[in-house]
Amino acid sequence: MVPPHLPFVIGVIDLLNGEAVHARGGDRRTYRPVAVPGSGHPGALAQFYRNTAGVDQLYVADLNAIAGGDWQSEQIREIGAQTGGLWLDAGIRSVSDAARARSLGASRIVVGLETLPGLDALRDICAGVEGARVALSLDLRDGRLVTDGVGVARDTPPHAVAAQAAALGVRTIIVLDLSRVGLAGGCDLDTIAAVRTAAPQVTLLAGGGIRDADDLRRIAAIGCDGALVATALLNGALQPADVRGSVIRS
């Protein structure tokens, strides 16, 4: 039996030009197809996560859509059909985008700070699709906000934005430091802890830097409920025995 103090794990699939790619350090120009399984085939990676790694829910980042391009709808549907819950970040900027994500099978609508036009849009999305289904990805790079239009300065403390998001109806917050993704350097524990203090009622997830079960225990100790993981599942550093089935249902 998995110890109850381990957070639940959500597998990550980054989609770029129809392929599942391995994200490293947030520099999307350098991302290459996931080597195994399936050599970048999104469906094969989804099957690996569920059947081999024991992960029930998947987080999909449509990097084309996040950059302002077309949604990779076919790949999103394929992944969604093979998971118990689909978390979708597709550069969602409006209620209509959120509705489109739901039509593709998303059980959780991930609104990325990187592409959010403003906090008013976040409030509207929460009202339009039910706040319990909305997750704010608090996008960071080296601990600083990644945002071009949300109405806050880049040097605003991340926990201050988290508190505002919770007040607007967001029920889940993901602390995602892009500079740590895929580099096995561990999470920014100080930022995660500050967000937990500022938004004590939300479901809190960490993304970027999870290396092993010890890292899961570290984030649990500061109040984190779950983690987004790719590399540690692909390289075997996290085994099925380390992975709790998600406590969040579709």
* 249 falls within a domain: no
Distance of CA 143 to the CA centre of its chain: 16
* Lookup result for tokens 């993901």: 174
* 2 falls within a domain: no
- The token pair at 29 is 């120009």
| pLDDT of res. 182 | 65
Residues whose CB is less than 8 angstroms from the CB of residue 166 and which lie 6 or more positions away in sequence, other chains included? 173, 198, 199, 201, 202
* 247 falls within a domain: no
Q: For the domain that residue 58 is a member of, what is the CATH number?
A: 3.20.20.70
CB 219 within 8 A of CB 189: yes
Of the candidates 166, 174, 161, 165, the residue with the CA atom closest to the CA atom of residue 224: 174
Helix/strand/coil for 176: strand
Q: How far apart are CA 50 and CA 11, in angstroms?
A: 9
* 116 falls within a domain: yes
Give DSSP secondary structure letters for 58-91.
Answer: EEEEEHHHHTTS---HHHHHHHHTTSSEEEEES-
| pLDDT of res. 39 | 65
Q: What angle do CA 204, 206, 207 make, to 5 degrees?
A: 145
* 92 falls within a domain: yes
* 248 falls within a domain: no
Q: Going residue by residue through the chain, which has 250 residues, state the pLDDT in tens, using 9 for 90 and above.
A: 344 467 899 999 999 999 999 777 656 777 778 876 666 799 999 999 999 999 989 999 999 999 999 999 999 999 999 898 999 999 999 999 999 999 999 999 999 999 999 899 999 999 998 878 999 999 998 888 988 666 777 788 999 999 999 999 999 999 998 878 766 667 899 999 999 999 999 999 998 889 999 999 999 999 999 999 998 998 888 888 888 654 443 3
| pLDDT of res. 3 | 43
Our CA dihedral for 150, 153, 159, 162, rounded to 10 degrees, sits at -10
Q: How far apart are CA 168 and CA 225, in angstroms?
A: 21
| pLDDT of res. 19 | 92
* 29 falls within a domain: yes
CB 171 within 8 A of CB 146: no
| pLDDT of res. 87 | 97
* Number of domains into which the chain is organized: 1
Q: How far apart are CA 111 and CA 122, in angstroms?
A: 8
CA 47 to each of CA 23, 53, 56, 236: distance values in angstroms, whole numbers, following the listed order: 19, 9, 10, 15
Q: What residue type is assigned to position 56 of the chain?
A: D
* Lookup result for tokens 């489109």: 100
First-residue to last-residue Cα distance in the chain: 24
Bridge-based pairing of strands 226-229 and 8-16 is: parallel
* 1 falls within a domain: no
Q: How far apart are CA 91 and CA 147, in angstroms?
A: 12
- Residue-number span of the structural domain to which 62 is assigned: 8-242
